[in-house]
Structure 1
Amino acid sequence: MLRRAWGLCLGLCLILLAGPARAEPQPVLRYCDYPVYPPISWSDGQQVRGLAPTLVRQVLGDLGYQVQVVVLGNWKRCLLDAAAGRVDVVLAYSTSQRQQGLLFSRVPVLREEVALFVNRRHLPRFKHLQDLRAYRGGLLFGESYGQDFDREVVQHGNIEWVSSSQQNFGKLIRQRIDFIPYERRTGQLFIEQLPGAEDIVALPQTVSVDYLRLAVSRQSPLAPRMAEIDAQLQRQVDSGAVQRWLAQSQDAYRAMLKAQRGATP
């Protein structure tokens, strides 16, 4: 009996000396962003900020993953890399073409209304999408605002493709293009402090309504967990976290611009 007790005591001491067991490192997933859409995603010059990266980190963190943020040269590169499996996750609108390489969450992250941003000094006559065939528009590489828009506007060859929103709105300010389709909330926030944008306005008509969704590469190890992703997204929406992160991002973006103006000599 004494020998058995001594053996148990010795075993316990060895366990204590060994210290706590090391936790297995969390697997890392790659999230691709093109941060030119405040307050959804934007860059402060050091890191990607906004609703999108905050949400992705929260949802994937709850599923046991670490998130590596990847920033590429344009939005089209993000979509292509996700479809090819080089990145795991993006936030995007769902289209039939994108569904070939991506799985989209059933639960939407955010409802978004697309408007036309124009220069009030040269207002296009717009009632129907077909009217835009007579004008020049600007889009970022990889952007799509629905099958109707693509069919009636993009496929008629009157779109100029660029890599940045600054470049796009700069062309609209100089009247080199006639319109920019853009999410209304993002566009209004973007032009608030944009130099020379005093004549840029959003038309009251709605071009389309779409829903921003979390999209997973079909080749990602995350692909079989879409039901869990939907459950996590629903929890964040129902708790009010998504709207809270959106408001915090808007405030932070405006504060960054204010600080930048204050630092300008």
Structure 2
Amino acid sequence: MSEAFAQEGVQVVYKWVPWKRAYKDTQTGNYDATAAWVPTPERKQLFLFSDTMYTNQKVFFHLKNYDFDWKTIADLQGLSIGGAIGYTYGAEFDKAAKEGTLNIQWTKTDKQNFNKLLAKRIQVFPQEVEIGYGYISEFPAEQAKLLIHHPKPLMQTTHHLIFSKKLKKNTKLVQLFNSGLKKLKDSGKYNDFITASRSGKYIQAK
């Protein structure tokens, strides 16, 4: 976000607050904008949406030496699949899991599922691409190199910067952000950020 705005000479000041507060206070105009949000009909009535900041793809991670392919949820039957309690993996997957047609081994954390993949206790595990590679980067190199993801997304959502409709200046701010974001993508810097994210750079910097 900072880099996109910087392309248009706008400096960003951040304030870290809980999600619900960020949403409510941006809606009322206490903040200019909040990130990053998935569009819904209700939100589109309340906020101005930027162009897509990134597309969040949830994919299946597995061992490189495991010959895995899938096209439909039915193809997953018979596999030992990892899952994290409280997560959603899309309506069709969640329905199949609830009905018991998929063999899901539930854990409390994503890290546990990656450990189970390495131990061959499960065969596949759905996770967001960027988050998944962030976790993988925390493993020793000899283990990290054993893991890969299948390119077909299980589910995907677009994420956006949303601006308060209460502030007239935000119509211009949305335009500036979209312009800066396009410049980042055209220059190749956007892809550099994605690559750095997958390498775990931003997680390690915390």
CA drift of 1:237 comes to 1.9
TM-score (ref. length: structure 2): 0.59
Equivalent residues of 1:139, 1:160 under 8 A apart: yes
TM-score, normalised with respect to structure 1: 0.49
**Distance apart, 1:106 and its partner CA:** 4.2
Paired residue type of 1:154: D
Distance 2:108 2:199 in 1: 25
Choose from 92, 104, 116 the match for 1:152. 92
* Letter in structure 2 aligned against 1:151: A
State how far apart, in whole Å, the 2-side matches of 1:252 and 1:201 are. 16
Secondary structure in 1 matching 2:15: strand
**How far is 1:200 from its partner?**
1.7
1:25-174 to structure 2, matched below 5 A, reads 54=2, 62=10, 66-70=13-17, 79-83=19-23, 85=25, 89-95=34-40, 99=43, 103=47, 105-120=49-64, 126-132=70-76, 134=78, 135-139=80-84, 149-155=89-95, 156-157=97-98, 158=104, 160=106, 162-163=108-109, 165-174=110-119
Provide the C-alpha distance between the structure 1 equivalents of 2:40 and 2:77, rounded to a whole number of angstroms.
Answer: 22
Aligned-partner residue type, residue 211 of structure 1: T
Name the amino acid aligned to 1:136. I
> Using CA pairs below 8 Å that are at least 6 residues apart, which structure has the higher relative contact order?
2
Aligned in 2, Cα 1:106/1:100: closer, same or farther, shift over 3 Å?
closer
Structure 2 segments unaligned to the other structure (5+ residues): 99-103
Is residue 2:146 matched to residue 1:202? no
Separation in 1, partners of 2:148, 2:178: 34
**Identity across matched positions, percent:** 15
| Match in the other structure for 1:224 | 166
Q: What amino acid does structure 1 have at the position aligned with 2:176?
A: Q
Counterparts of 2:52 and 2:195 in 1: how far apart (Å)? 20
- Counterpart of 1:211 (choices 146, 150, 158) is 158
Q: Equivalent residue of 2:14, what SS?
A: strand
Name the counterpart of 2:189. 244
Q: Does the 8 Å contact 2:61/2:147 carry over to 1?
A: yes
Contact 2:4-2:184 at 8 Å conserved across structures:
no
Question: CA distance change for structure 1 residues 204 and 244 in 2, over 3 Å: closer, same or farther?
Answer: closer
Q: How many residues align?
A: 186
Code of the aligned partner of 1:160: W
Give the superposed CA RMSD.
Answer: 4.6
Q: 1:239 to 1:223 in 2, by over 3 A?
A: same
CA deviations on 1:90-121 (whole Å, 9 max, x unpaired) are 3143356x849974624111245443112346
SS at structure 1 position matched to 2:91? helix
Instruction: Indicate the structure (1 or 2) with the bigger Cα radius of gyration.
Output: 1
Structure 1 counterpart of 2:171, which letter?
A
